[in-house]
């Protein structure tokens, strides 16, 4: 192949001699993922790497990225690496006694270019005839949710950090047959590597493909070449192949995920000088692998599959490609280191990775939280303050007289202003240590009757009802001060035969009553009961005695 054609077929070239930032490290073996030839050597060094085209959406720049060069400007030009590759592994690179160098995706993460050491990838499919959906997709630090049909299956990377799955089912369906078992009950432990073009399978499985689709294996090129007749037959069969995958045997889950590839995904062309071909020719992209280290799901598989990898959580996912032409939906995978930042340095580094909008949003959210906390604290303080104040409404309700039953012999008092009982000692009350607290009656509040009411019930021992005579004696004693036993309670200093002077209040309003009737009634009452004779009543001597000799202070009415 002419040099110009060789260079143009490889895409853009990198010339180390023309770079001003390349720092040579040395010549080291190229790591062929299929381990077919360990004699390939490449020139390694440190270089400044940016994604995208200059002036056309150029991505973040990473200084000191560890790269390897092959081809014209190295010790060996090999067709095994016809195109350049971007390493997406997170493990550091180490050669012999050389110091380790972080991978590109790790360096990009440490340079705050992406939110995590993760990526999402699909190879694209030109047979879909739609430019918007047929192109490949690579998202660093996240994934494009519009490119796949979501499922809940999660795979785990192995101890070496490699992506491996178990192929437990391989079924083909054609226009004339269905459920063709291409795996023949054998489980195959498969590697996942997007740097490999084809699907590498055990030899026994490849022979089952030959019988099912009429494939012919070419010993010279180690390819399944397809001529025009075979191509027309396969187009008529229009087979599709379903891959059933699950986590490796060390996993305890029995769940699986299925990826379906149409025949168009297997209808590929190979060009010179690939595998010694002299011309462009159709081929069926499965390859024979002699050992399990070569059994690989390559880019042919990822035409119809989407791969999402999170190196920091040691997890990855496989999804069926979605061709519904959905709108771009980029989602970030956030590093777990952000959630574990405890020190000031880690926290500052985590915050510095956030966008300005995210930082502003966090600040606004913090202000809102502080405002809500302050409002809640003020409300609680006001509530406790109100609870400490006396509840006068409950006191008024307690002192309001309850409604008497209808059959109560008592009647309610006339409504008027309420009089509340005092709950403290009066101000003029004297306090003495020797004072008997049980005998202190000053604090007892006497009830106030605004109008004459019913007599309160007498709280005393029961007795008999007074007779008429006893009632008159008690009444006379209260008015005249006469002892019923005959002993006068008049003042001693008065002269014999001289009665005590009466006040105007003591004079009974008994004018106009017959004197003789009262006197005779009094005399009969005394004699009838057989009581001792009462002292004769002597009225005050004076001018009024002769004029109104019938005035008495009380009378006995029969």
Q: What is the mean pLDDT of residues 96-110?
A: 85
Tokens 């019988």 belong to which residue? 211
Non-local CB neighbours of 511 within 8 Å, separated by 6+ positions: 551
Asked if residue 350 has pLDDT above 90, the reply is no
How far is the CA of 178 from the CAs of 171, 242, 252, in angstroms?
8, 11, 31
Does any domain span residue 379?
Answer: no
18 plus 132 within the same structural domain: no
212 plus 278 within the same structural domain: yes
pTM of the model: 0.60
What would the two tokens of residue 313 be? 């959580």
**pLDDT tens-place string over residues 234-253:** 999 999 999 999 998 666 66
152 plus 95 within the same structural domain: no
pLDDT for res 317: 96
Does any domain span residue 430?
Answer: no
Does any domain span residue 426?
Answer: no
Q: What is the mean pLDDT of residues 545-554?
A: 46
30 plus 173 within the same structural domain: no
Name the band, by pLDDT with cuts 50, 70 and 90, for residue 137.
very high
What would the two tokens of residue 161 be? 């950090």
Q: Domain range holding 537? A: 468-547
Backbone angles phi, psi at 45, to 5 degrees: -175, 180
Under a CB-based contact definition with an 8 Å cutoff, are residues 283 and 306 in contact? no
Last residue of a domain, one of 54, 82, 113: 113
Bridge partners of residue 45, in order along the sequence: 24, 67
**pLDDT tens-place string over residues 417-459:** 444 455 555 555 444 445 454 444 444 555 555 666 555 565 5
Non-local CB neighbours of 284 within 8 Å, separated by 6+ positions: 209, 213, 215, 224, 225, 226, 266, 268
38 plus 127 within the same structural domain: no
Q: What is the mean pLDDT of residues 525-529?
A: 44
Does any domain span residue 445?
Answer: no
What would the two tokens of residue 485 be? 């036993």
pLDDT for res 271: 87
236 plus 337 within the same structural domain: yes
Asked if residue 376 has pLDDT above 50, the reply is yes
Q: What is the mean pLDDT of residues 529-538?
A: 50
pLDDT for res 52: 77
Reported residue count of the chain is 558
Q: What is the mean pLDDT of residues 253-274?
A: 90
CATH of the domain at 275: 2.40.70.10
Residue 171, Cα to own-chain centre: how many angstroms? 45
Asked if residue 70 has pLDDT above 80, the reply is no
Name the band, by pLDDT with cuts 50, 70 and 90, for residue 386.
low
Instruction: Determine the angle formed by the axes of helices 468-480 and 515-529, rounding to 10 degrees.
Output: 120
pLDDT for res 124: 92
Rounded-to-integer distance, Cα 269 and Cα 267, Å: 7
Mean per-residue pLDDT over the chain, rounded: 73
Helix, strand, coil % over all residues of the chain, rounded to 5? 30, 20, 50
Q: What is the mean pLDDT of residues 88-93?
A: 85
488 plus 511 within the same structural domain: yes
Does any domain span residue 211?
Answer: yes
72 plus 138 within the same structural domain: no
Does any domain span residue 354?
Answer: no
201 plus 243 within the same structural domain: yes
Rounded-to-integer distance, Cα 92 and Cα 109, Å: 13
Domains of the chain: total: 3
Last residue of a domain, one of 91, 113, 135: 113
309 plus 187 within the same structural domain: yes
**pLDDT tens-place string over residues 476-512:** 777 776 555 555 444 444 444 444 444 455 444 444 4
Burial (CB count within 10 angstroms: exposed 0-12, middle 13-18, buried 19+), residue 419: exposed
Does any domain span residue 253?
Answer: yes
**pLDDT tens-place string over residues 298-315:** 999 999 999 999 999 999
106 plus 148 within the same structural domain: no
Under a CB-based contact definition with an 8 Å cutoff, are residues 271 and 168 in contact? no
Rounded-to-integer distance, Cα 208 and Cα 188, Å: 14
Does any domain span residue 451?
Answer: no
């Amino acid at each position: 192949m002419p040099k110009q054609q060789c260079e143009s077929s490889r895409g853009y070239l990198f010339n180390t001699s023309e770079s001003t930032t390349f720092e040579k490290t040395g010549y080291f073996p190229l790591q062929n993922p299929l381990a077919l030839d360990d004699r390939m050597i490449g020139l390694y060094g440190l270089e400044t790497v940016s994604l995208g085209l200059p002036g056309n959406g150029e991505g973040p720049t990473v200084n000191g990225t560890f790269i390897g060069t092959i081809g014209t400007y190295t010790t060996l030009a090999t067709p095994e690496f016809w195109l350049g590759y971007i390493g997406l592994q997170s493990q550091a690179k180490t050669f012999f006694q050389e110091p380790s160098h972080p991978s590109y995706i790790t360096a990009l993460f440490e340079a705050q270019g992406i939110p995590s050491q993760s990526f999402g990838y699909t190879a694209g499919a030109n047979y879909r005839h739609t430019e918007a959906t047929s192109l490949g997709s690579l998202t660093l630090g996240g994934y494009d949710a519009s490119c796949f049909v979501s499922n809940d299956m999660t795979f785990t990377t192995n101890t070496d950090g490699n992506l491996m799955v178990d192929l437990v089912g391989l079924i083909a369906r054609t226009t004339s047959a269905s459920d063709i078992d291409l795996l023949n009950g054998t489980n195959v432990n498969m590697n996942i590597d997007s740097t490999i073009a084809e699907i590498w399978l055990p030899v026994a499985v490849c022979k089952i493909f030959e019988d099912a689709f009429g494939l012919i294996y070419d010993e010279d090129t180690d390819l399944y070449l397809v001529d025009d007749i075979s191509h027309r037959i396969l187009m008529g069969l229009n087979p599709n192949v379903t891959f059933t995958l699950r986590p490796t045997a060390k996993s305890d889950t029995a769940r699986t995920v299925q990826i379906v590839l149409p025949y168009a995904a297997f209808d590929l062309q190979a060009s010179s000088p690939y595998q010694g071909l002299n011309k462009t020719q159709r081929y069926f992209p499965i390859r024979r692998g002699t050992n399990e280290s070569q059994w690989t799901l390559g880019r042919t598989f990822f035409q119809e599959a989407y791969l999402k990898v999170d190196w920091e959580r040691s997890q990855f996912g496989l999804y069926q490609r979605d061709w519904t032409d959905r709108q771009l939906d980029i989602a970030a995978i956030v590093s777990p280191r952000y959630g574990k930042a405890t020190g000031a340095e880690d926290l500052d580094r985590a915050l510095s990775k956030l966008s300005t909008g995210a930082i502003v949003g966090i600040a606004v959210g913090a202000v809102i939280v502080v405002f809500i906390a302050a409002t809640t604290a003020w409300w609680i303080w006001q509530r406790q303050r109100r609870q400490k104040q006396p509840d006068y409404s409950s006191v008024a309700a307690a002192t309001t007289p309850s409604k008497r039953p209808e059959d109560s012999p008592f009647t309610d008092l006339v409504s008027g202003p309420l009089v509340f009982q005092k709950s403290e000692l009066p101000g003029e009350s004297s306090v003495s240590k020797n004072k008997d607290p049980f005998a202190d009656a000053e604090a007892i509040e006497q009830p106030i009757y605004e109008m004459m009411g019913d007599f309160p019930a007498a709280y005393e021992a029961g007795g008999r009802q007074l007779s008429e005579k006893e009632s008159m004696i008690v009444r006379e004693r209260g008015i005249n001060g006469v002892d019923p036993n005959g002993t006068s309670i008049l003042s001693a200093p008065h002269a014999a035969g001289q009665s005590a002077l009466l006040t105007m209040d003591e004079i009974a309003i008994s004018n106009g009553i017959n004197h003789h009737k009262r006197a005779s009634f009094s005399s009969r009452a005394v004699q009838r009961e057989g009581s001792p004779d009462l002292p004769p009543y002597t009225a005050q001597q004076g001018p009024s005695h002769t004029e109104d000799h019938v005035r008495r202070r009380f009378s006995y009415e029969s």
